Structure 1
Amino acid sequence: MSGHGHGHGHGDGCGCEGEHEPAERGLEYGLYRRIDLDKLQCLNESREGDGRLVFKPWDKRTERDKFVESDADEELLFNIPFTGSVKLKGVIVAGEDDESHHQPEIRLYKNIPQMSFDDTGREPEQAFRLNRDPLSSAGSHPFLARIARFSNVHHLSIHISKNFAAESTRVYYIGLRGEYSEAHRHEVTICNYEATANPTDHKVESIIPQTNFIS
């Protein structure tokens, strides 16, 4: 257990952030507004569309009326497209109050659109391995992302690979902290190189027919 008293596992990248006032923290975790929700996917959700419900304001993180629950097994995979470029700095995943539903492992992948469970065998950019922790269910347990690996993110995948005991996994809130930059749009200019035809470039051979007279 770490000195923070949060009960971390020994996996890499499980750094906790310092304490902040809730209002300040709410401003920090505002990247949910930069998600293209129409294109967001949650694989293995028990009810279609529920995965979008967990990306919400900081002050609603402890509400329990909206959540996503896994279907066939305990895995969940979130494919999160942003409307621009993100420098990811922190992640919060709030699960069920019941310890059996807490997520012992969370894996982050960068810029793999349409990621499937078949792709989760590759090495993630970062993984968080947790012990059972009541703070996780309260949405008060942030983890630091490795900024060097998440400095130019336009698509983020979060894979919850297993829980501690339950047949399904339930998530109430996912918070993302970081910086956002608008996407740059490149305009295409179509040039007309020839406004008026040059007669010298379009030679037309004249054919003069010959008439033979038979006397």
Structure 2
Amino acid sequence: MLRKVNFISSCFTMAHQCSCGDIHNDVELGIQYNLYQKIDTGNVECLNEYEEGSGVTVFRSWESRLDRDKFVESDVDDELLFNIPFTANIKLKGLIIIGGENNLHPNKVKLYKNRPRMTFDDVTIEPEQEFELCVDTNGIHEYSPKIVKFSSVHHLSLHFTGIDRTERIKIYYIGLKGEWLPAHHHGVTICTYELHPQMSDQPKKNIEDVNRTIS
């Protein structure tokens, strides 16, 4: 006697809790956090990084966010400043941060829109938005920028600071979620202007009137 067995495929979601106290599900986050592909990585700047070139490594796929071999650590104090140019205009909708262990975790981040090549002298300017950061070792806590302020972004600056009296900060992953539009490049239009109008430019009716008057 043959028995008919029904196989039911179940979909399991992973739930995690970070220091904010909420439970987060990681459903579809990997699909949404793909703006790292639109970063002009060759021109990313990270000021005060301990190891040169390490700052750009924190921008990668959400699936590889838990890679602890790639990180950036600050050098002389507890500040890091990222200048992030994009290859297209983006609409920023989400931000995920995985920071370092214990006191190496950044405490705050300020977001600045379309201010290329910022320095630490510029961070006294009021940012478009600021977040206090929670400890999120799994990379599932989302910070939500105000879309009305980040709807047309070609350059994003992120200024991270640590807790008071912290010597250094460390970041493993920065995830960016949103939409993008290809940048438009407008060509130069060359116009030639004539100082004296040509006879061919005159209305036909006016030419006939002149001929009639002469005859």
Question: Is the structural similarity TM-score above 0.5?
Answer: yes
Name 1:205's counterpart in structure 2. none
For 1:149, what is the secondary structure of its paired residue? Answer: coil
Kindly state the Cα deviation for residue 137 of structure 1 after the two structures are TM-superposed: 2.4
Code of the residue aligned with 1:181 in structure 2: it is L
Name 1:68's counterpart in structure 2. 72
Residue 77 to residue 116, structure 1, CA distance change in 2 (3 Å): same
Code of the residue aligned with 1:69 in structure 2: it is E
Name 2:178's counterpart in structure 1. 178
Q: Does the alignment pair 1:28 with 2:32?
A: yes
Give distance in 2, aligned partners of 1:18 and 1:88. Answer: 20
Contact in 2 for aligned 1:17/1:142 (Cα 8 Å): no
CA RMSD of aligned residues (A): 2.3
Give distance in 2, aligned partners of 1:39 and 1:74. Answer: 23
Deviations 1:171-211 (A, max 9, x none): 110000000000011122334567xxx9xxxxxxxxxxxxx
Name 2:210's counterpart in structure 1. none
Give distance in 2, aligned partners of 1:153 and 1:54. Answer: 20
For 2:171, what is the secondary structure of its paired residue? Answer: strand
Give distance in 2, aligned partners of 1:180 and 1:147. Answer: 13
Give distance in 1, aligned partners of 2:183 and 2:61. Answer: 23
After TM superposition, the score normalised by the length of structure 2 is 0.76
* 1:117-128 equivalent positions in 2, closer than 5 A: 117-128=120-131
Q: Of residues 92, 101, 105 in structure 2, which corresponds to 1:102?
A: 105
Q: Does the alignment pair 1:83 with 2:83?
A: no
Q: Which runs of 4+ in 1 moved over 6 A?
A: none
Kindly state the Cα deviation for residue 19 of structure 1 after the two structures are TM-superposed: 3.3
Name 2:43's counterpart in structure 1. 39
For 1:49, what is the secondary structure of its paired residue? Answer: coil
Residue 17 to residue 176, structure 1, CA distance change in 2 (3 Å): farther
Q: Of residues 55, 60, 76 in structure 1, which corresponds to 2:59?
A: 55
Give distance in 2, aligned partners of 1:165 and 1:101. Answer: 11
After TM superposition, the score normalised by the length of structure 1 is 0.76
Name 1:187's counterpart in structure 2. 187
Identity %: 49
Contact in 1 for aligned 2:24/2:141 (Cα 8 Å): no
Kindly state the Cα deviation for residue 103 of structure 1 after the two structures are TM-superposed: 1.5
Name 1:151's counterpart in structure 2. 151
Deviations 1:1-52 (A, max 9, x none): xxx964449xxxxxx896341xx21110000000001111000001111111
Deviations 1:129-154 (A, max 9, x none): 135x3xx2222221111101101111
Structure 2 unaligned residues grouped into runs of 5+: 1-15, 199-215
Give the total of aligned pairs. Answer: 180
For 2:103, what is the secondary structure of its paired residue? Answer: helix
Structure 1 unaligned residues grouped into runs of 5+: 10-15, 199-215
